[in-house]
Amino acid sequence: MLDVIKQVGGNTDIPTNIFGKKGYGAGGGFIVDCQKWIKSWEKFRPILELNYDTIASQNKLIGWSDCLAQLVIMAGGYEVVQNPQMVQTWYHERPDLYPNYTDWRDYEIADYVKDIEIIKSL
């Protein structure tokens, strides 16, 4: 994916998360500057339309709406910043990626909370 972004002169500097790892920054949601996103979309859309099937066959993340939004912003040359107070509830399953993770309740934003009883108790 970064090769495609690089070919259009976009920003390929992937955000660093709170654990010091570079990678996917949208994390289940995003806040964008709408004017920058629209400019980026107009630049990236024709390329995406022509190459979507090829990209999708190589990388399943392209189908995730929050990933696509991040790629569009990057294609426009804009920076993606990850909120240091956002985590996902499954991080405890990957201590190799998130070594300092404690509990999702220790952060301001928790994505991927699926248990209805937990949601009701919040």
> What pLDDT shows up at residue 17?
65
Instruction: Decide: 25 and 70 in contact? Cβ < 8 Å.
Output: yes
**Interhelix angle 34-58/65-75, nearest 10 degrees:** 120
> What pLDDT shows up at residue 24?
61
pLDDT along the chain (122 residues), means of 10: 84 74 61 87 91 80 73 88 79 85 85 81 80
> What pLDDT shows up at residue 42?
94
> What pLDDT shows up at residue 23?
65
Which among 113, 3, 108, 11 is positioned nearest to 59, based on CA atoms? 3
> What pLDDT shows up at residue 35?
93
**What is the pTM assigned to this prediction?**
0.67
- How is the chain split into domains, by residue range? 1-20+27-82, 85-122
> What pLDDT shows up at residue 46?
93
> What pLDDT shows up at residue 45?
92
